């Protein structure tokens, strides 16, 4: 899909890690024994498999996202039917062949983890089929909404991992040496094609100009090119349509008062290469700032107060990941509390991108409300009976 080699290796490692996690989890899945109000009785919570899990994944993580679902589904006693992205079907085939070989080596049918390739018609069939106990969908909010309605229509179970419009907030007391590399990694990594990509950067007015200058210099040094080369930091966008969306977003931002600080152009070479872009001058509630564009465009805004910055973070429809940079302990706990970030992933002094498998991954509002990977995410893949 175009990501640089080190990210591709990291994604495969994530699948390995979630398998380790799931093996440990398989020995501790259980429900509590509760006190019964009736003498001589026991009250027990039992968790059973949902049966068949339909897993629909996106192009940007063609290995790891399936791995999160697949490893947990298997230890919960489920079987899997995977529909990977049509544009990364060879990756889906390769992964499925590896899994099938492992299953068959252990005298189990390879079809426990089956694969189907295709487009929206296949996804539609999975969403509508009553035999599918859980539909796990990763993709855009627009398509996720359609999937959710079709699954709900048959009273099925759904797990949605949808869009993000993630903000990093930098306060005047932040360790500024952390800020530039963190923002660069979060905004430019995977060429801006992560659901956890930093798309909005809020800078306190006292440090705004300094950070913009430092970031601009860092952006100029980003090596863009062949993702197989070890010194490449930013590969291509996935499709020509993505390049068109990149250009369209920049034009819309200019119309809404934005200024290109650096980048903003398509690179004249074979492939879908674009320049990572910084824009300033936009209002926090500009329509383009509230829109998730799957490309390396960062909108930088200036704020005065903590209340203002927290409100701007929360005012978009998506609620996936969020970050602040500060040394103020009181502010950190306000950020983590009920009046702070409304996102599913709330970071302090680290960027928006990345996740740890031990914690539940997912977000609120138009991000879908689903949770994958760690914590008690396994409950999605099972049904509860109270005995």
Q: Which residues are catalytic?
A: 161
Residue 7 burial (CB count, 10 A): 17
Calpha distance 155→8 (Å, rounded): 37
Residue ranges of E strands in 188-289: 198-204, 259-262, 277-280
Calpha distance 122→118 (Å, rounded): 6
Please name which of 119, 132, 193, 131 lies closest in space to residue 159, comparing C-alpha atoms.
132
Match 């175009």 to its residue by tokens. 2
Calpha distance 20→196 (Å, rounded): 24
φ and ψ at residue 186, rounded to 5 degrees: -75, -30
- Residue 203's DSSP bridge partners are 170, 302
Residue 295 has, within 13 A of its CA and on its CB side, a CA count of 29
Asked if 314 and 365 touch (Cβ cutoff 8 Å), the reply is no
How wide is the angle at C-alpha 110 spanned by C-alphas 107 and 116, nearest 5°?
175
Which tokens belong to 288? Answer: 């383009």
Helices (H), 189-228: 208-220
**3-state SS class at 232:** coil
Asked if 59 and 83 touch (Cβ cutoff 8 Å), the reply is no
Residue 202 has, within 13 A of its CA and on its CB side, a CA count of 27
Asked if 62 and 1 touch (Cβ cutoff 8 Å), the reply is yes
**3-state SS class at 98:** helix
Calpha distance 339→341 (Å, rounded): 7
């Amino acid at each position: 899909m175009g990501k640089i080699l080190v990210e591709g290796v990291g994604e495969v490692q994530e699948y390995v890690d979630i398998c380790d996690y799931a093996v440990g989890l398989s020995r501790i899945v259980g429900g509590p024994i509760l006190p019964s109000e009736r003498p001589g009785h026991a009250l027990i919570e039992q968790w059973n498999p949902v049966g068949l899990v339909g897993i629909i994944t996106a192009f940007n993580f063609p290995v790891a996202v399936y791995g999160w679902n697949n490893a947990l589904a298997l230890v919960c006693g489920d079987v899997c039917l995977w529909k990977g992205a049509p544009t990364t079907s060879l990756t889906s085939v390769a992964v499925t062949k590896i899994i099938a070989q492992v299953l068959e080596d252990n005298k189990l049918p390879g079809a426990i983890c089956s694969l189907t390739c295709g487009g929206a018609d296949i996804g539609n069939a999975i969403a509508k089929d009553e035999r599918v106990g859980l539909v796990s969908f990763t993709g855009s909010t627009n398509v996720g909404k359609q999937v959710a309605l079709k699954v709900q229509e048959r009273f099925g179970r759904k797990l949605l991992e949808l869009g993000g419009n993630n903000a990093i907030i930098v306060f005047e007391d932040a360790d500024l040496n952390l800020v530039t590399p963190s923002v660069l990694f979060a905004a430019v990594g995977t060429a801006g094609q992560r659901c956890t990509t930093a798309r909005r950067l809020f800078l306190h007015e006292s440090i705004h100009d300094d950070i913009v200058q430092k970031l601009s210099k860092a952006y100029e040094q980003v090596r863009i090119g062949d993702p197989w080369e070890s010194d490449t930091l930013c590969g291509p966008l996935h499709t020509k349509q993505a390049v068109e969306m990149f250009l369209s977003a920049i034009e819309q931002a200019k119309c809404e008062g934005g200024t290109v600080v650096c980048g903003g152009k398509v690179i004249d070479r074979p492939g879908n290469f674009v320049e990572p872009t910084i824009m300033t001058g936009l209002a926090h509630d500009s329509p383009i700032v509230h829109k998730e564009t799957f490309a390396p465009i960062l909108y930088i805004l200036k704020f005065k107060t903590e209340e203002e910055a927290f409100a701007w973070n929360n005012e978009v429809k998506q609620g996936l990941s969020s970050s602040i940079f500060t040394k103020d302990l009181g502010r950190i706990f306000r950020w983590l509390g009920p009046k702070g970030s409304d996102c599913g992933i709330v970071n302090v002094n680290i960027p928006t991108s990345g996740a740890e498998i031990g914690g539940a991954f997912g977000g609120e509002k138009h991000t879908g409300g689903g949770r994958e990977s760690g914590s008690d995410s396994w409950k999605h893949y099972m049904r509860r009976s109270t005995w």
